[in-house]
Amino acid sequence: MINRDMIRSWLYCAAVLAAAALFFASRALPQTSGVPTGNIITGNATGSTSAVVGTLSGFVGKTTYICGFSVSSTGSAAVSPITVAGIVGSNMVFQNLSAGAGILQQAFYPCIPASAPNTAITVTTTADGTATAVNVNSWGFVQ
């Protein structure tokens, strides 16, 4: 004979199994938190006296994200301001890369998306007629 406690136990087990099946069978949703989940890309450039532009390329039907950049230079004048363009909202401008041997690094968490799909993100220095070397390195991802 089956009693109520046994029926309750079986119903409880069935509910737990159904919940576990739903949990493990569900498809993972894509991450949009700005954490790299797509193809990692870099936009690196070198130069001297003119403006140097590191570009994270745009891709058809995909959004480019910038996760950070580094600008270094040698020369007697500063290569700032540094402008990050093509991002959602408006351009970001960074100052105070000192004259001589200087470095400016900036990381973004969460990573910042481009203003629209198929849009490149650029990191641009100011021209410095006395610079002997300027390096722009940027990194991000596309998804």
- In three-state secondary structure terms, 137 is strand
Q: Are strands 102-113 and 53-56 parallel, antiparallel or unpaired?
A: unpaired
Delineate the domains of the chain, giving CATH numbers in brackets: 39-142 (2.60.120)
CB atoms inside a 10 Å sphere around CB 6: 10
Which pLDDT score, from 0 to 100, does residue 34 have?
Answer: 54
Which pLDDT score, from 0 to 100, does residue 129 have?
Answer: 80
Select the more confidently predicted residue: 16 or 7.
Answer: 7
What's the mean per-residue pLDDT of the chain?
A: 82
20-46 residue pLDDT tens? 555 555 454 454 555 667 899 999 999
